[in-house]
């Protein structure tokens, strides 16, 4: 079945706003506020329509917030819900102390604590599992997600493909949940860092953070339609410098761990396109968080709203630059060189 016929059969598509894009949203702890900024600008641009969204970890949270807004009110509602979520997740969002400490660890992604409460949480998690350290299974992120997202509305909304990744603890394999199966538990599974949360059980299987195995999943988007894919990437695949300090080494090790699955998917797309000797399987574009290294060093723990707003502004600027440079290429050619990006 052709992708065009497939779209017609899906029905209930949103009103056309011009060029169509799939969005692939990488996880990145508090740096997911950069993705919020990117989405905010893209939603503001009336020339774009989204065919599908995939996400892992913080990218999955952004994905369901976006899908919820589109399902319930369109682009402006999606912008509003994303803004409200990131405000609620910030330091001034009103969460009680224990919930705030746990949410800080979720937004941290890579534990580099500095506040007294965070240092205590870090120390305990090094010697105790979340089953011991968090016996009540406090889950503030799930509470925030349930507060903001109408999953029934998302599942009923046929105008958008939606995919969320999680890692099966027993098999170590990727599982990609489709829109029809996504719940608050699925999103929490995608964001379940092993040192913070118990594994989330779904259909009798335990799951951890999707960032380990699909960060974000791109191939499911490609399988559904032939629209271009825009990757919103938090962690670079390649760095030119060699880390030397303990902090830099830990940061880079975690970047590699959480980017290896993305590198594998990009290699697969590049290989299939090269083997076909014709047009690429799909056009791929990228918006990358960059140019803020000094200001972001160790900042995945920083969750005051001013910091989120800084990343939001950076995301909007990056999205504007992308569209200024590459809008005409959307639907015609890739602007991300997969061969160069995946070269050893």
Q: How far apart are CA 307 and CA 317, in angstroms?
A: 16
**Host H or E run for residue 156:** helix 151-156
Find the range with the poorest average confidence among 57-71, 143-157, 258-272.
258-272
Q: What is the pLDDT of residue 132?
A: 46
Q: How many CB atoms lie within 10 A of CB 46?
A: 9
In Å, the largest CA–CA distance within the chain is 58
Helix segments in 73-139, DSSP class H: 75-89, 97-108, 116-127, 130-133
Q: Is the pLDDT of residue 269 over 70?
A: yes
Query: How far from the centroid of its chain's Cα atoms is residue 102's Cα?
Result: 19
Q: What is the pLDDT of residue 24?
A: 98
Q: How far apart are CA 83 and CA 81, in angstroms?
A: 5
Confidence of residue 290 (pLDDT cuts 50, 70, 90): confident
Find the range with the poorest average confidence among 20-24, 43-47, 139-143, 306-310.
139-143
Confidence of residue 117 (pLDDT cuts 50, 70, 90): very low
Torsion angle of the four alpha carbons 62, 87, 14, 187, in this order, in degrees rounded to the nearest 10:
30
Q: What is the pLDDT of residue 52?
A: 97
Whether the bond into 216 is cis, omega within 30 of 0: yes
Q: Is the pLDDT of residue 115 over 50?
A: no
Q: What is the pLDDT of residue 161?
A: 97
Hey, is 253 helix, strand or coil? helix
Confidence of residue 114 (pLDDT cuts 50, 70, 90): very low
| Better-scored residue on pLDDT, 74 or 11 | 74
Pairing mode, if any, of strands 161-168 and 205-208?
antiparallel
Average pLDDT over residues 4-11: 40
Query: How far from the centroid of its chain's Cα atoms is residue 206's Cα?
Result: 21
Q: How many CB atoms lie within 10 A of CB 253?
A: 12
Q: Is the pLDDT of residue 69 over 80?
A: yes
Q: What is the pLDDT of residue 138?
A: 53
Q: How far apart are CA 269 and CA 261, in angstroms?
A: 13
Question: Would you say 27 and 259 are in contact if contact means Cβ atoms under 8 Å apart?
Answer: no
| Better-scored residue on pLDDT, 18 or 7 | 18
Q: Which two tokens stand for residue 327?
A: 């809008």
Q: How many CB atoms lie within 10 A of CB 171?
A: 10
Confidence of residue 152 (pLDDT cuts 50, 70, 90): very high
Q: What percent of the chain has pLDDT over 90?
A: 51
Q: What is the pLDDT of residue 137?
A: 55
Confidence of residue 92 (pLDDT cuts 50, 70, 90): low
Average pLDDT over residues 40-51: 96
Average pLDDT over residues 110-125: 45
Q: Is the pLDDT of residue 106 over 90?
A: no
Residue 30: name the closest of 189, 191, 225, 224 by CA: 191
Average pLDDT over residues 35-50: 97
Q: What is the pLDDT of residue 38?
A: 98
Hey, is 208 helix, strand or coil? strand
| Better-scored residue on pLDDT, 239 or 299 | 239
Tens-digit pLDDT profile for residues 175-196: 999 999 999 999 999 988 887 7
Average pLDDT over residues 324-341: 94
Q: Is the pLDDT of residue 228 over 60?
A: yes
Residues whose CB is less than 8 angstroms from the CB of residue 41 and which lie 6 or more positions away in sequence, other chains included? 315, 316, 319, 320, 323
Q: Is the pLDDT of residue 98 over 70?
A: no
Q: How far apart are CA 61 and CA 166, in angstroms?
A: 12
User: Side-chain half-sphere of 205: how many Cα atoms within 13 Å?
Assistant: 15
**Host H or E run for residue 286:** strand 284-288
Average per-residue pLDDT in the chain? 81
Average pLDDT over residues 283-299: 74
Q: How far apart are CA 19 and CA 34, in angstroms?
A: 23
**Host H or E run for residue 341:** helix 338-341
């Amino acid at each position: 079945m052709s992708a065009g016929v497939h779209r017609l059969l899906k029905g209930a598509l949103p009103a056309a706003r011009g060029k169509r894009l799939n969005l692939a949203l990488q996880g990145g702890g508090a740096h997911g506020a950069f993705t919020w900024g990117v989405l905010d600008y893209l939603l503001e641009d009336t020339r774009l329509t989204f065919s599908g969204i995939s996400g892992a970890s913080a990218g999955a949270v952004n994905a369901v917030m976006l899908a919820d807004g589109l399902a319930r009110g369109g682009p402006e509602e999606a912008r509003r819900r994303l803004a409200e979520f990131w405000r609620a997740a910030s330091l001034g969002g009103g969460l009680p102390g224990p919930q705030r400490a746990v949410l800080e660890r979720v937004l941290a992604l890579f534990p580099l604590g500095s506040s007294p409460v965070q240092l205590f949480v870090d120390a305990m998690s090094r010697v105790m599992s979340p089953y011991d350290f968090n016996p009540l299974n406090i889950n503030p992120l799930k509470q925030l997600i349930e507060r903001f997202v109408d999953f029934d509305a998302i599942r009923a909304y046929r105008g958008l493909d939606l995919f969320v990744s999680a890692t099966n603890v027993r098999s170590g394999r990727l599982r990609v949940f489709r829109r029809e199966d996504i719940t608050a538990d699925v999103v929490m599974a995608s964001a379940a860092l092993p040192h913070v949360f118990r594994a989330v059980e779904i259909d009798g299987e335990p799951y951890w953070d999707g960032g380990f195995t699909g960060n974000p999943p791109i191939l499911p988007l490609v399988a559904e339609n032939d629209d271009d894919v825009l990757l919103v990437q938090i962690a670079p695949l390649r760095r030119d410098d060699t880390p030397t300090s303990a902090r830099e080494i830990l940061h880079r090790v975690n970047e590699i761990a959480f980017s290896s699955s993305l590198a594998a998917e990009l290699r697969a797309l590049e290989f299939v396109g090269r083997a076909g000797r014709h047009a690429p399987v799909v056009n791929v574009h990228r918006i990358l968080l960059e140019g803020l290294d000094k200001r972001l060093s160790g900042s995945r723990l920083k969750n005051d709203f001013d910091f989120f707003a800084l990343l939001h502004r950076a995301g909007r600027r990056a999205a504007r630059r992308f569209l200024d440079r590459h809008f005409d290429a959307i639907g015609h050619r890739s602007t991300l060189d997969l061969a160069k990006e995946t070269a050893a």
